[in-house]
Amino acid sequence: MKADLSFASPAQLETECLVVVVLEENELQPRQPRIQSGDAAVADSANEAISAGEVSGKMFETVLIHRPRGLQAKRLLLVGGGKAKSFSSADLRKVAGAATRFLKPRNVRKFAFLVPSANLPIDEAARAIVEGVYVGDFEPDTYKSDRKDQSVEELTLAVATAADPAAAQAAVLLGQVVGEAQNYARELVNEPSNRLTPTMLAERAQRLAQETGLHCEVFGPDKLRELKMGAFLSVAQGSDEEPRLILLRYEPAGAPDRPVLGLVGKGITFDTGGISIKPSEGMEKMKYDMAGGAAMLGAMRAVARLKPAVKVIAIVCATENMPSGKAQKPGDVQIAMSGKSIEVINTDAEGRLVLADGLHWARQLGATHLLDAATLTGACVVALGYFNAGIFANNDAMYGRFEAALKRAGEKMWRLPLDPDYMDLLRSNIADLKNVGGRWGGAITAALFLKEFVGDSPWIHLDIAGTAWIEESKPWIAKGPSGIAVRSIVEFIRDLAANPNGA
């Protein structure tokens, strides 16, 4: 998708459709919607719909006006953005996605979006719009035989004034890079497991490295045995598909020696639960159990293009979790790479096993700070539902920086405790740890299990189980993979590059 800025009068823009945000202005009596445009012709074109009561400004309300009076645009789309007082870049991102999804089935491939001025700096608003259009443009119907390409070809951002046009243009480019990275992760998560085996996922990573200049290494079972990754291998042993350990490196010249950020992603390309098999209902979605790994690949794609001055390594532990005569059984004891012994109580708690070895290896490779992402626990979904991912952190300073990155990225996550009292639930009579702690506080005990493998490294764990898959289509995003965490990880990395001494 081509995206660019225009400083021309919105009324003079020749486009298939001009999109304008409308906000609820509750402080006016009587209440009136506020058109986010200072252009008299645009306001005049919308007046008839406003006077007729068709426009209120409520979130995602859409009113399409054909052949708008006084405009060169063929259509004028008014999209509600909610209350003016609280309107944010996160809201604008969704509004842009909603506009995109409204226009796509109407065969609009090129449109202009008038950048609103309410509450937001121009560059922040421009970036949010571009990212929102990318999110809205994604479709999950990859293998439909009658699939029609309705992709957006061209987006023009109409800007009335910009104090710093160069900053606005840089924001557009940043939005493109991050939007493409998020959709790249979504494409991976959307693939069925027969078309994205661990080997195929590794091939995708190698292709990504070739296209972006990253350094990539891929290892198979022999290397895992050499590294003594007993926890990872125990999950892989039940499948006929070989596991793959994927390593991507971004080491720019001139970057400081520290921090070195280690990204570790769960890459279970299909999760049956193993011997502790899952119910059949809904199991088809378990192709998404590699969403944490996909997020790391998406983030690295963006990093390679943005070129921040900070060293980043990414590890994806890719395998299937299958039941077979070779599969590990409840009660088995496995030895992790760190040397810790693990009693496997539930083979469906496999993500923490592969991450345990991935996190330890990241430290061995020189990572000073660790961040992992995984569709790890149903317990996190019970706790937070489908709206917030769970965050766990062993370092308040690192968490504070990530929380700030979250706000800039517009993603929802909620911090949960790492209370050591919960460790009692992970004590084993036969080994150092059990891989599950029972029914209660399952997201917490899973995070505490991982904490045993990070040592004293500052570390953040993202449990994205409830947010990596959209259960129902929303106005701004299609049902299916969300690409959660890509934007926040990229923002966090950009912050590390800007202020490495604060890490």
Q: Which residues are catalytic?
A: 278, 352
Tokens for 317, please give them: 């532990």
Asked whether 247 and 267 are in contact (CB, 8 A), the reply is: no
| Residue 463: other Cβ atoms inside 10 A | 32
Instruction: Please count the CA atoms within 13 angstroms of the CA of 443 that sit on its side-chain side.
Output: 27
DSSP H or E segment with residue 463:
strand 459-463
Which residue, 496, 472, 460, 466, is CA-closest to 484? Answer: 466
Write phi, then psi, for 2 (nearest 5 degrees): -85, 135
Tokens for 336, please give them: 């992790």
Name the residue type at position 435.
Answer: N
How do beta strands 260-271 and 369-374 pair?
parallel
Task: DSSP for 126-180, please give it.
Answer: HHHHHHHHHHHH----TT-TT-------EEEEE-S--S-HHHHHHHHHHHHHHHH
Write phi, then psi, for 269 (nearest 5 degrees): -70, -20
Separation CA 288–CA 270 (nearest Å): 7
Q: How far is CA 181 from the centre of its chain?
A: 9
Q: Angle between the 165-190 and 486-498 helix axes, to the nearest 10 degrees?
A: 140
Q: Which residue has the tokens 């701004």?
A: 476
Query: From the CA atom positions of the chain, what is the Rg in Å?
Result: 24
Which residues are 167's β-sheet partners?
Answer: none
Separation CA 477–CA 51 (nearest Å): 31
Distances (CA, A) of 325 to 239, 328, 329, 336, 351: 10, 9, 10, 22, 21
Asked whether 470 and 481 are in contact (CB, 8 A), the reply is: yes
Residues 101/107/110/116 CA torsion (nearest 10 deg) = -40
Separation CA 177–CA 179 (nearest Å): 6
Which residue, 246, 262, 120, 100, is CA-closest to 183? Answer: 100
Asked whether 232 and 357 are in contact (CB, 8 A), the reply is: yes
